[in-house]
Amino acid sequence: MPNQILHLSLTKDQLADLVNALEDYRDDFRTKAADATRGFGLDKAYWDSRVAEVQLVLELVSVSGRLNRH
């Protein structure tokens, strides 16, 4: 899938909310990966890859937020 370019104008609170939501999303995938090791749900490797994907987005958002502070 091609990359999507997003142009967002966020307040500090909105950026913090976005970062928090991404962290929660990532942590939920970590929980699902742990559950997978006990035989629940999809394969652990799948959830680990989702954790990595969300972590990358989180890092991009965090870096962008730091670079664009006025």
Q: Does 28 fall in a domain?
A: yes
For residue 26, give both structure tokens: 């990532």
Average pLDDT of span 50-65: 92
**What residue numbers bound the domain in which 59 lies?**
12-67
Q: Given pLDDT bands bounded at 50, 70 and 90, which one contains residue 69?
A: low
- Please check whether residue 2 lies inside any domain of the structure: no
Length of the chain: 70
Is residue 6 one of the residues assigned to a domain? no
Question: What is the predicted pLDDT for the residue at 66?
Answer: 74
Count how many domains the chain has. 1
Checking if the pLDDT of 5 tops 70, the result is: yes
Q: What is the pTM of this model?
A: 0.83
pLDDT in tens, 25-40: 999 999 999 999 999 9
